[in-house]
Amino acid sequence: AQSVTQPDIHITVSEGASLELRCNYSYGATPYLFWYVQSPGQGLQLLLKYFSGDTLVQGIKGFEAEFKRSQSSFNLRKPSVHWSDAAEYFCAVGIISNFGNEKLTFGTGTRLTIIP
Amino acid sequence: AAGVIQSPRHLIKEKRETATLKCYPIPRHDTVYWYQQGPGQDPQFLISFYEKMQSDKGSIPDRFSAQQFSDYHSELNMSSLELGDSALYFCASSTGASGNTIYFGEGSWLTVV
């Protein structure tokens, strides 16, 4: 069965420092991979997605992620974080249903705290 | 740009009552998904609809039902509410084709007291 693992429950980073959030997946076929961000009490906003092609994916708000098939990973990175990046980050894998569309299986999330 | 609209945003119900959540997908999106996110939890897939037919089913309790209407909006009906049903319920939509982005609404907060 498909699964997504986010090993870090909580990460604290200084403002201006670089960031890497880890994500590992388990899926039998070529995965569709996503990163979503959720601010407290808010909905899920898509940061970026990987379907195929270039394994380095650029997203919104200066985020990028790299798909590494050999490591079954899709880590999220940002070179310099801002205080507004403090939020919960979810990695997800898209599973194709019988109708050809997909549903998302999420990891447990990583809470990012930014310190001045 | 239009987003996924959910209503109500907040709902308080007593145990054993019934609640209905509504979802209006992005225009021209034919697929709707429902997710449940408990406090401190990741979103869990409940059910999805494609062209008004149920396309997939996840961990949705038998007390819950959902449907997609001719105008593509969807409703999630929850009966015999339990304290454990308190959660943030997300609706999401997409065009249905594999690989297309799934867009989420802001969610509906259900509190069962």
Q: Is the peptide bond before B8 cis (omega within 30 degrees of 0)?
A: yes
Q: Does A94 touch chain B (CB under 8 A)?
A: yes
Distance between B35 CA and the closest CA of chain A, angstroms: 9
- Range A71-99 average pLDDT: 91
Which residue, B106, B87, B92, is CA-closest to B13? Answer: B87
Distance of CA B103 to the CA centre of its chain: 12
d(CA B31, CA B27): 11
pLDDT given at position B82: 97
Which residue, B77, B10, B54, B70, is CA-closest to A101? Answer: B54
Distance between A90 CA and the closest CA of chain B, angstroms: 8
pLDDT given at position B71: 93
Q: Tens digit of pLDDT for each residue in A56-80? A: 999 999 999 999 999 999 999 999 9
d(CA A73, CA B103): 23
pLDDT(A101) > 80: no
d(CA B84, CA B81): 8
How would you write the pLDDT of chain B (113 residues) with one tens digit per residue? Answer: 679 999 999 999 999 999 999 999 999 898 999 999 998 889 999 999 988 999 888 889 999 999 999 999 999 999 999 999 999 999 999 886 666 788 999 999 999 99
The torsion angles phi and psi of B48, rounded to 5 degrees, stand at -140, 160
Is A103–B45 a contact, with Cβ atoms under 8 angstroms apart?
Answer: yes
Taking the CA atoms of residue A73, residue A74, residue A76 and residue A79 in that order, the dihedral angle to the nearest 10 degrees is 80
Query: Scanning every residue of chain A, which has its alpha carbon at the shortest distance from the alpha carbon of B54?
Result: A99
d(CA A44, CA A98): 25
**Which residues of B are less than 8 Å from A9 in CB distance?**
none
Interface probe with B: pick from A27, A32, A90, A101, most Cβ of B within 10 Å: A101
Q: Tens digit of pLDDT for each residue in A36-48? A: 999 987 889 999 9
State the amino acid at position A98 in one-letter form: N
The torsion angles phi and psi of A60, rounded to 5 degrees, stand at -85, 165
